[in-house]
Chain A
């Protein structure tokens, strides 16, 4: 393994079962592996996938040992849902960035009126670390299918981690149905652009 792969980078993705966090993580892992990184991706199957809170972790670098990231170890947190950003925030290091899908999914306990959705999760995150809300659902809907929001978020992640140059097209075409490959590629690019626009000097985040 080439030593220029350097220090281990840590990515935490979180969301709600069914949002496509595992697919996004798989695409990320495979693109990194194809580029020569050592990668470990940890995911949970089974019961929690049924609409529960889900998280996957991706670690990459020259040689990765632990499949899990410790608290304060993540360089970037990508929350596919606002409230889930709060749940997993402790995994982010203080200098890290939280990409948050500006999207709300009420849990069964909220729908049943037993608990209430927290006020302004994005504002709370922003009070502590750099937060980058992205209207991934809106962007994906604009491209024709709001379900592609996971690719928009993957695009933002790729751009912020300096991974825009990986062979995303190859990975997407090799994984996704041909009918959806174009949409997914456009969603990925839109996510990259959205993140880079925020990164531009003077842009408000």
Chain B
């Protein structure tokens, strides 16, 4: 095998690493920048050349399905974006207590800079919280190799293992050398029933066990060759610790560090932190700059509370920006280097170019109709949810007033209506509704909350690239009625401009209704129509083949 056999996105390198580890099943929920991991595997599965790989209703069900596959003996991968892990936190944290049978690897993609997210939480905190190992690749080759190692670790320590990546690795392409694939595990469930039934008595024993293996995890991390220490001949005044992509940006500027030469350095790629390596570096240096992608996780551990005599620099003292992504420029500044000359011109601020709904998008017509329906009404409150339609919060629509997390449109509407707002509307997409909208709908129906839920049904998960809806479109009405929404207030409208007047009338009536209304605004996503036209074309085939 060559050194650059295949060109892969960071996401795809994880998928291939999992496949070559003898993967038995893969589950996930789409979310930028993690989506392409599972898409790669689904592409193979659908052609009959890979194990089961499926999109799930949400990250929690995905995690639990992967856990079930692991319990049944197979190696399982589960993928999601950072905020998705909040949804899957319950099975994730508890799965650290069971006796993992088939290797279970969680690949989670963080989005520092919030390119396509509502926060920039750092998943390393979750790995620490659950007390499980985490590997953080800094390039595509490492993503491939570390995923393979993660499956070994999971079976060796009988705990789930996290692979943490960030946007620029997930969505950059590079050549990766691949190694031979190994066979999968045979089907065969765990026979350690006590370890898998987390009744308090069992759970206490399992938690003791999890605490007890921390020393072994620490020993593994301390010995891991992924954590590379390089001592410098430079005077022992200054050292650098890098994490994730921070290493690449540091190395990018290495050539400009001049006569003083490169500082001593330690790259950290495994968690729990390799404590001994850090102590050795600190013992030989007066000052340490921490360059890590995401939150100041390593930096915080270094600083502690009690004085140590070593000065720590990083995101907590402003040497690096506390928020957003690292890049060659902010790392350069933290290293004390002047900016490179650039063609920058002082011009008046440019007009912004925010993303917007596609021309002719059905969501635009739904927003326009609701905006008209609530015109002049007192006591209005409008929530929305996660998806393309979040762009309705921007001009020219400016319709939603709150948008927080998957499903919150409906639950927040319930709370606001019960607090006293009279004309409350919640916008939620069909995929988001299946993800986290059903349970708050149950709340709403159980108490007869006077809200109007608008399910924007475009039959696709559009924002993340067009994953097909899990259930046929027409099922939404049945779900609403099945949960108990009055049949007279489960309505379907055409989300078209031509139907605006009729739709405004529907919304006016339903908003006035003092109970739960579900209005399904239906029209297929333009991107979905385009994708359908393209399907089967040479372009799609060629792209798929190139990924093999």
Report A's interface with B, CB cutoff 8 A: 1, 16-17, 26, 29-30, 33, 38-53, 64-73, 77, 83-84, 86-87, 89-94, 96, 98, 107-110, 112, 114-118, 124-125, 127-129, 174-178
Shortest beta-carbon distance from B218 to chain A in Å: 29
Residues of B within 8 A of A42 (CB): 168, 171-172
Question: Given A50-B388, A108-B395, does the pair A40, B172 have CB atoms closer than 8 Å?
Answer: yes
B488 within 8 A of A: no
Are B342 and A114 in contact, CB atoms less than 8 angstroms apart? no
Are A72 and B342 in contact, CB atoms less than 8 angstroms apart? yes
Are A46 and B248 in contact, CB atoms less than 8 angstroms apart? no
Interface size class on chain B is 35 or more
Residues of B within 8 A of A30 (CB): 7, 546
B43 within 8 A of A: no
Residues of A within 8 A of B341 (CB): 72, 93-94
**Chain B 415-441 near chain A by CB (<8 Å), digits 1 or 0:** 000000000000000000000000000
Question: Given A68-B249, A71-B329, does the pair A176, B340 have CB atoms closer than 8 Å?
Answer: no
Among B32, B247, B388, which residue has its beta carbon within 8 angstroms of that of A45? B32
Residues of B within 8 A of A48 (CB): 115-116, 355
Ranked nearest first, the 3 interchain pairs of A and B with the lowest CB-CB distance are A46-B116, A72-B342, A70-B328
Give CA–CA (A86, B390) in the complex, Å: 28
Give CA–CA (A26, B542) in the complex, Å: 13
Report B's interface with A, CB cutoff 8 A: 3-4, 7, 32-33, 35-36, 115-116, 139, 167-169, 171-175, 245, 247-249, 251-253, 327-329, 332, 339-345, 347-348, 350-358, 388, 390-391, 394-396, 463-465, 537-539, 542-543, 546
Are A38 and B4 in contact, CB atoms less than 8 angstroms apart? yes
Residues of A within 8 A of B174 (CB): 38-41, 64, 67
Are B351 and A107 in contact, CB atoms less than 8 angstroms apart? yes
Among A107, A112, A175, which residue has its beta carbon within 8 angstroms of that of B543? A175
Are B172 and A92 in contact, CB atoms less than 8 angstroms apart? no
Residues of A within 8 A of B252 (CB): 65-66, 70
Give CA–CA (A26, B9) in the complex, Å: 11
Among A70, A89, A117, which residue has its beta carbon within 8 angstroms of that of B344? A89
Question: Given A38-B174, A109-B395, A174-B546, does the pair A52, B354 have CB atoms closer than 8 Å?
Answer: yes
Give CA–CA (A72, B340) in the complex, Å: 6
Are A49 and B355 in contact, CB atoms less than 8 angstroms apart? yes
Shortest beta-carbon distance from B91 to chain A in Å: 26
Give CA–CA (A41, B172) in the complex, Å: 5
Are A93 and B464 in contact, CB atoms less than 8 angstroms apart? no
Are B172 and A90 in contact, CB atoms less than 8 angstroms apart? no
Are B352 and A128 in contact, CB atoms less than 8 angstroms apart? no
Residues of A within 8 A of B251 (CB): 65-66
Are A109 and B351 in contact, CB atoms less than 8 angstroms apart? yes
Are A29 and B173 in contact, CB atoms less than 8 angstroms apart? yes
Among A16, A47, A114, which residue has its beta carbon within 8 angstroms of that of B353? A16
Question: Given A42-B171, A47-B355, A67-B168, does the pair A90, B347 have CB atoms closer than 8 Å?
Answer: no
Are B32 and A47 in contact, CB atoms less than 8 angstroms apart? yes
Give CA–CA (A124, B347) in the complex, Å: 9
Shortest beta-carbon distance from B256 to chain A in Å: 10
Give CA–CA (A128, B169) in the complex, Å: 33
Give CA–CA (A42, B390) in the complex, Å: 25
Are B463 and A47 in contact, CB atoms less than 8 angstroms apart? yes
Shortest beta-carbon distance from B10 to chain A in Å: 9
Are B351 and A70 in contact, CB atoms less than 8 angstroms apart? no
Among A108, A117, A128, A177, which residue has its beta carbon within 8 angstroms of that of B537? A177
Residues of A within 8 A of B391 (CB): 47, 50
Give CA–CA (A126, B537) in the complex, Å: 42
Are B4 and A33 in contact, CB atoms less than 8 angstroms apart? yes
Give CA–CA (A48, B353) in the complex, Å: 9
Among B171, B172, B342, B396, which residue has its beta carbon within 8 angstroms of that of A93? B342
Residues of B within 8 A of A40 (CB): 172-174
